[in-house]
Amino acid sequence: MSVLETLPSDLRLDRSRHAAPQVFEKLRELIMSLELKPGTVLSRGELAEAFGLSQTPIRDALIQLRDEGLVDIFPQHTTAVSRIDIAAARQAHFLRRSLELEIVHLLASRADAALVDRLRAHIDVQRANLGPERHQRFIAADQDFHREMHEAADVSSLWELEQRNSGHVYRLRRLHLPEAGKAERVLRDHQRIVEAIAAQDATRAQQALREHLSGTLSQVDEICRRYPEYVIPEA
């Protein structure tokens, strides 16, 4: 199948911004959402046609995607969306868990009613977007919830670091989300985290976060069994 058949029809760019970063952002979003599935061949010529650009910004965007582990570039041959590397996903998970355990401990150690209200507002958005047809909005609200905690802890740059290393683990979570009850468990976990922060109970906040982040990786074997063509199993 041509990549042109899998791309959305509206790929308009903001002409006041450089093209390559926008191509990167749009392709990254499509890869993370699995609209561009692992193994999908990305032809520079077809992408240039789809975006109405020369191949130079397409090349630059693909190099950035390669640097995040989201595409594989085989010189003089082809470029394709990378398969989900389970070992890399575990490393990204380790990084995120380590950072966020410290973040929730910090947030729970001080009273901040405004932060609690903002976190609850993100949960409300997630609740409003339960259902298979709204997975992308649910995931966006999930991201906003965790980003809010990073910003409140004054470590926004660490959020960006996590994002650059998140491609494999986020795609793994995207495969896991449609499982019955998964989204509801995410909501309950977020509520428990916020309740612990509001109560200034750092130990309970850390335990709630640890359980929250363990869900997908505890199901790795099942996900690999269901989607063998999408993953690189651990050695």
Residues 45 and 148 in one domain: no
Return d(Cα 224, Cα 31) in angstroms, integer. Answer: 18
Domain ranges, residue 18: 3-82
Query: Are residues 99 and 67 located together in one domain of the fold?
Result: no
Which of 64, 82, 100 is where one domain is finished? 82
Instruction: Tell me, yes or no, whether 126 and 211 share the same domain.
Output: yes
The tokens for 91 are 């490393």
Pair 141, 122: CB distance under 8 Å: yes
Q: Are residues 143 and 170 located together in one domain of the fold?
A: yes
Q: Which of 82, 106, 123 is the last residue before a domain boundary? A: 82
In a shared domain, residues 213 and 129: yes
Each of the 235 residues of the chain gets a pLDDT tens digit; together they read 567 677 777 787 888 889 999 999 999 999 999 999 999 999 999 999 999 999 999 999 999 999 999 999 998 789 999 999 999 999 999 999 999 999 999 999 998 999 999 999 999 999 999 988 888 899 999 999 999 999 999 999 999 999 999 999 999 988 988 888 888 999 999 999 999 999 999 999 999 999 999 888 888 999 999 999 999 988 7
Q: Of the candidates 82, 101, 134, which is a domain's last residue?
A: 82
**CATH number for position 104:** 1.20.120.530
Flag whether the pTM goes above 0.75.
yes
185 and 173 in a common domain: yes
- Could you give the number of structural domains in the chain? 2
Same-domain pairing of 72 and 102: no
Same domain, 204 and 123: yes
CATH at residue 64: 1.10.10.10
User: In this structure, are 66 and 91 located in the same domain?
Assistant: no
Instruction: Tell me, yes or no, whether 226 and 142 share the same domain.
Output: yes
CA atoms within 13 A on the CB side of 235: 1
Q: Are residues 78 and 118 located together in one domain of the fold?
A: no
Are residues 216 and 195 part of one domain? yes
Distance separating alpha carbons of residues 10 and 71, to the nearest angstrom:
22
How many Cβ atoms from other residues are within 10 Å of residue 30's Cβ? 19
